[in-house]
Amino acid sequence: MSQSYRVAILGATGAVGTELLSLLEECRFPLADLKLLASPRSAGQTLMFQGESLTVEAVGDRAFDNIDIVLASAGGSTSKAWADRIVAAGAVMIDNSSAFRMHPTVPLVVPEVNPGAAAEHSGIIANPNCTTILMNVAVYPLHRVQPVQRIIAATYQSASGAGARAMEEVRLQSQAILDGKAPVPEVLPYPLAFNLFPHNSPMTETGYCEEEMKMVNETRKIFSEPSLRISATCVRVPVLRAHSEAINLEFAAPFSPDQAREILSQAPGVKLVEDWQANYFPMPMDATGRDEVLVGRIRQDISHPNGLELWICGDQIRKGAALNAVQIAELLIEKDWLRPAERAIATPQS
């Protein structure tokens, strides 16, 4: 990487945005310039980067002029509002929101799974849902060896998935309860401290909430398996920033836990964490701040001869969001896929 690039973070003050800032610093991303954008609420606020204080600007009409890469993490409506302008300015938008993920012309990329899809972009690349990314990194190496026929997942999702304010809310509610006061929910619908509830995303007519349907639809797109059978139950738990998932996989023939272990021990982005004697397996505390998806408690499903079970934990803000986006940016640079060469630049409507 001899060239350097002009990058903007849209949503720089949020949970994902601040992690993006840390990651760009940590991985020594080849930056020519870094612009921090948010809503007018945060304009003028400063954030530290490489020992310097950078001022956050309110996003506006000329914000994307002379920018090569926009890392967007300001919510779906903000992504939709600025996508046209970003693409028209000649930048590539790597979008953390769900706005364009299922659009047929927008690649949905997990670099460990479908890096080649990134080459097909027309100005926008979508970063998948965090729960989906974590599951895909752990399941795909097995799927490559023997195609999985059915996935059943139950998730234990941290407050970070609902943003920086939700994390603060859990801290405040915990303190309130310890002080004998009533916890007050403002960001999340119900008190999360010392509690849990089914995922707070809107319910769909299938009886699955949107988060659960994202795991279904996005995994099918990323794996290029449009009919893969998947069912997920997503639950919000009082953990600050790492998601856990219990994953049941059904194959056409038996898949031994030892073979799975062997494959996953060499899989990109995966770290095996298993000590059966100590009953020590992946935990959110250990996953927090780590790049890898921790996988352990790999066992045969005793209810099905072709079933295999995994337990995984991953830092939702890191590999589940910011790191995956930075890896996509690095991939575009490494492969020289930054410009949507000889393709019509078109912004999908939704």
Among this protein's residues, is 103 annotated catalytic?
A: no
Residue number with CB closer to ligand NDP (14 or 282) = 14
Contact criterion met (CB below 8 Å) for 106 and 126: yes
CB of 166 to ligand PHD, least distance (A): 9
Yes or no: say if 106 and 347 are a contact pair by the CB < 8 Å rule: no
In the annotation, is 130 catalytic? Answer: yes
What is the enclosing helix (H) or strand (E) of 58?
strand 57-58
- Could you say which residues in the range 79-98 bind ligand NDP, by CB under 6 A? 96-97
- In order of 52, 148, 265, 345, the CA distances from 239 in angstroms are 32, 30, 27, 41
Considering only 28-36, 57-65, 157-165, 188-196, which stretch makes contact with ligand PHD by CB under 6 A?
Answer: 157-165
214 binds, among ligand NDP, ligand PHD, none (CB under 5 to 8 A by kind): ligand PHD
Cβ atoms of residues 321 and 19 within 8 Å: yes
Q: Is 318 annotated as a binding residue?
A: no
Does residue number 11 form part of the binding site for ligand NDP (CB under 6 A)? yes
Cβ atoms 265, 293 nearer than 8 A = no
- 76 known ligand binder: no
Q: Position of tokens 């059904």?
A: 250
148, 150, 154, 160: CA torsion to nearest 10: 60
Cβ neighbours of 185 (radius 10 Å):
14
Question: Does residue 148 bind ligand NDP (CB under 6 A)?
Answer: no
Write the CB contacts of 56 (distance below 8 Å, at least 6 apart in sequence).
Answer: 12, 13, 36, 37, 38, 42, 43, 44, 45, 46, 47
Which residue, chain included where needed, has tokens 């298993």?
274
Q: Which stretch binds ligand PHD (CB under 6 A): 49-57, 124-132, 179-187, 264-272?
A: 124-132
Interface with ligand NDP in residues 268-327 (CB under 6 A): 320-321
Q: Which of 130, 137, 170, 322 binds ligand PHD (CB under 6 A)?
A: 130
- Catalytic residues, which ones? 130, 243
Binding residue positions for substrate:
157, 210, 236
Binding residue positions for NADP(+):
13-16, 41-42, 160-161, 316
Kindly list the residues in this chain that would bind ligand NDP in the complex (CB under 6 A). Answer: 11-17, 38-39, 41-42, 59, 73-76, 78, 96-97, 127, 129-130, 133, 161, 163-165, 320-321
Kindly list the residues in this chain that would bind ligand PHD in the complex (CB under 6 A). Answer: 97-98, 129-131, 157, 161-162, 211, 214, 316
